[in-house]
Amino acid sequence: MQKEDTVKLISAEGFEFVIDKKAAMVSQTIRNMLTSPGSFAETQLGEVTFPEISTTILEKICQYFYWSMQYASGKETEFHIEPELTLELMMAANYLHT
Amino acid sequence: MEIESRLVRLCIESACRSGDAVKKWRMQRRTLEHLPSPLADALLRRLLQRRLLSPSLLEVFKICVEEADLRGEISVDAEWMAYLGGFRYLRCLNIADCHRITSSALWAISGMANLKEVDLSRCAKVTDAGIRHLLSISTLEKLRVSGTGLTADGIALLASLSNLLVLDLGGLPVTDKALKSLQVLKKLQHLDLWGSDLTDNGVILLEKFPRLSFLSLAWTKVTTLPNLSSLECLNMSKCTIKSILGGTGDKAHLAKLQIAGATLLNEAEAFMHIEPSFLTFLDASHTQISRFYFLSSMKSLECLDLSSSGIGDDSVELIAQIGGNLRNLNLNNTGVTSSGVGILAGYVPNLEIFSLSHTSVDDIAIAYIGVIPKLKAIDLSHTKVKGFIDYGDAEPDKVYTLMALQSLSSLERLNLEQIYIQDDALCSLLDFPGLRHLFLQSGYLTDLSLHHWSSLHCLKTLGFRDAVLTNQGLDSFKPPVTLELLDLRGCWLLTEDAILLFHRKYPRIELKHELIHVSASDHPLSNFPSKSQFKRTPPVNINSEKLFLSPTFVDQRLKYNRGELLALQYSSLSLQPNYGDGAIFKMPTD
């Protein structure tokens, strides 16, 4: 995979998730960060740090990005969310506009 | 507020899936405290819909919720109110139609520091004593107490809520004297006094509200309304009207006027003082008005409702003169005929919604309607439209009229209920790719025309009522993927099984029929709808009830092909007494 096709999402604990750029673009917030003009660190390095999102939640978010792309292409499966994650995941989703 | 993010919606669904799911997150106190209020409000609403909310669960929301919408929830009582009183940042509380709310239950919310909106509509047990508890909430801007047990004395007490902008006193015994004590509410913009005891003497006091822009005096004895220069919306439905806004001073820029069902002693006099150029909305339905000259200067009208009024073809010319801005025109149940539509057609370039239900317009009108370029919705139900013009022997072929609508590129909604329309006349509707809602109801429709609608790719609602539709016809119908509602009421040939089979194949489509009402499945993934999704109308068929008791039960019709199934049906006729389980072999006799 080409480096420019991926982005690195970093959780509060410093855990790094490398995912497809177009998957990350499911989030309007990340899309804005990566495509905004100027030389923000995010745009340059393809790295975004989320100091308020824990590793567990960020992993779930990444899963959602891929599920969402599949869903859009017609593969209608269920996205399972554990009830104990709902509150934090909801807040992260709200922040990421996804 | 509607939550836009899909993941947030999925989270809310998951959090509200069951009582056990709630237990998993309700102890996460710190997270709950940080929950942004739009999310918390939406979560609270969904919990309520899913019947998972209890007073003790309310407690976990005390920091995060700003808007609590509990209207119509019968279990809401004093205990709930005690917890709601502890919501520190509550801005808006809606407990309309919560019938267990009493005056003393309101004690819990007295003195709340951030509360701006309270809706107590139709809480009949709230009386003057209850209102006293609200007087300490000085921040209150919107208060709705229509249909409560308040008396004129209680209403007078509201004068101390000096920040009120909106006050709904509908259906209460507001007297001239009570209104006098409310004069101090100088910020008031919206005042609803429908059904009050106000008279022409009291209504003069309304001049003391300098910012009043919305006023409802419907169902009152008021006949003469003085000039209120700030007024924009006025409702005097069901009143006997002498004059509106007469008097000196700056003319009100009235934009919206409702006089539905009112009696006008003299049309010319009633409208004389209204500045016509600002009026965009006029509802004069169910009035006995027969002369419509007052319309001629209302050049800004966008929405005009003259249904069930005395208008006929002779006055249509007056609508044509002011038709330039019209978007919505309702002429239901009037004397307007096709020639009236002809007069109008060229003069309403912006018309989007056109209702002609219960008139005597016929197929000639359709050609005229076809030249109104921006039409989105047409209602031709209960008219003489047939879909074709028969010239008799002179022209052997039928001339199909609905073709004329093909020029309407924005058409989304078409109502053709209760007219004598046949399958062939509907063929021309297939060229309406943008059609979203189609309503048909005719005993002449058959399987044939149902199949047409497969090719309408935007169709969301399809009414196909009273048709001669067979089980086979429904079975072979391939609905467009967008379809959300299929109304089959009155299709008397259909059996319950055939409808259920269709639902099994297309679980996302809500079905309506006398035998059974099937809502769309909440979870598109489950193949077997839960029992609660079926709302039955009696008589309940015990046999098919059994079908849904076991989620692993395979419907026999899915296992066998049609020929085999028919054979089985007949074999069951002879064998039936020997079979214990009649669920599998249900007689096609009903």
Instruction: Give per-residue pLDDT as tens, B134-171.
Output: 999 999 999 999 999 999 999 999 999 999 999 999 99
Report the pLDDT value the prediction gives residue A41, as an integer from 0 to 100.
66
Report the pLDDT value the prediction gives residue B553, as an integer from 0 to 100.
41
H/E stretch holding B328 reads strand B328-330
> Choosing among B1, B2, B11, which should be mutated to test the A contact, i.e. which has the most A CBs within 10 A?
B11
d(CA B421, CA B385): 8
Burial class for B527, CB neighbours closer than 10 Å (0-12, 13-18, 19+): exposed
> Residue A64's closest chain B neighbor by CA?
B7
Across the interface, of B5, B10, B39, the residue whose CB is closest to A81 is B10
Report the pLDDT value the prediction gives residue B551, as an integer from 0 to 100.
40
H/E stretch holding B543 reads helix B542-547
| B499 Cα to chain A: minimum distance (Å) | 25
d(CA B92, CA B87): 11
Over residues A26-32, mean pLDDT: 89
Average pLDDT, chain B: 86
d(CA A14, CA A12): 5
CB of B235 within 8 A of CB of B194? Answer: yes
d(CA B396, CA B394): 6
Interface contact flag, A84 B8, Cβ < 8 Å: no
CA distances from B550 to B112, B529, B531, B555 (A): 51, 11, 10, 11
d(CA B590, CA B579): 19
Interface contact flag, B7 A91, Cβ < 8 Å: no
d(CA B332, CA B346): 20
CB of B36 within 8 A of CB of B63? Answer: no
Over residues A70-76, mean pLDDT: 86
Interface contact flag, A77 B25, Cβ < 8 Å: no
Across the interface, of A64, A85, A87, the residue whose CB is closest to B32 is A87
Q: Report the 10 Å Cβ neighbour count for B4.
A: 10
Question: Is cis: bond before B539, omega within 30 of 0?
Answer: yes
Strands B516-518 and B510-512: antiparallel
Chain B positions touching A78 (Cβ under 8 A) are 523, 525
Across the interface, of B5, B21, B34, the residue whose CB is closest to A93 is B5
Report the pLDDT value the prediction gives residue A76, as an integer from 0 to 100.
80
Smallest CA-to-CA distance from B409 within B352, B343, B483 is with B352
d(CA B41, CA B89): 12
Phi, psi of B455 (to 5 degrees): -90, 0
Smallest CA-to-CA distance from B329 within B385, B290, B282 is with B282
d(CA B497, CA B503): 10
Domains assigned to chain A: 3-96 (3.30.710.10)
Which residues partner with B256 through β-bridges?
A: B233, B281
CB of B105 within 8 A of CB of B133? Answer: no
CA A72 to chain centre: 16
Chain A positions touching B39 (Cβ under 8 A) are 90-91, 94
CA distances from B304 to B243, B307, B318, B325, B365 (A): 20, 9, 12, 11, 20
**Going residue by residue through chain B (590 aa), what tens digit of pLDDT does each one get?**
567 889 999 999 999 999 999 999 999 999 999 999 999 999 999 999 999 999 999 999 999 999 999 999 999 999 999 999 999 999 999 999 999 999 999 999 999 999 999 999 999 999 999 999 999 999 999 999 999 999 999 999 999 999 999 999 999 999 999 999 999 999 999 999 999 999 999 999 999 999 999 999 999 999 999 999 999 999 999 999 999 998 888 888 999 999 999 999 888 888 989 999 999 999 999 998 888 999 988 999 999 999 999 999 999 999 999 999 999 999 999 999 999 999 999 999 999 999 999 999 999 999 999 999 999 999 999 999 988 887 766 666 778 888 888 889 899 999 999 998 888 888 878 878 789 999 999 999 988 888 888 888 889 999 999 999 999 999 999 999 899 999 999 999 999 999 999 999 998 899 999 988 888 764 433 333 343 444 444 443 334 333 343 444 444 444 445 555 455 454 444 333 333 333 333 334 33
Q: What is the pTM of this model?
A: 0.79
B157-173: buried (b, 16+ CB within 10 Å) or exposed (e) per residue? bbbebeebbbbbbbbbb
CB of B337 within 8 A of CB of B371? Answer: no
Interface contact flag, A94 B12, Cβ < 8 Å: no
Across the interface, of A68, A83, A88, the residue whose CB is closest to B14 is A83
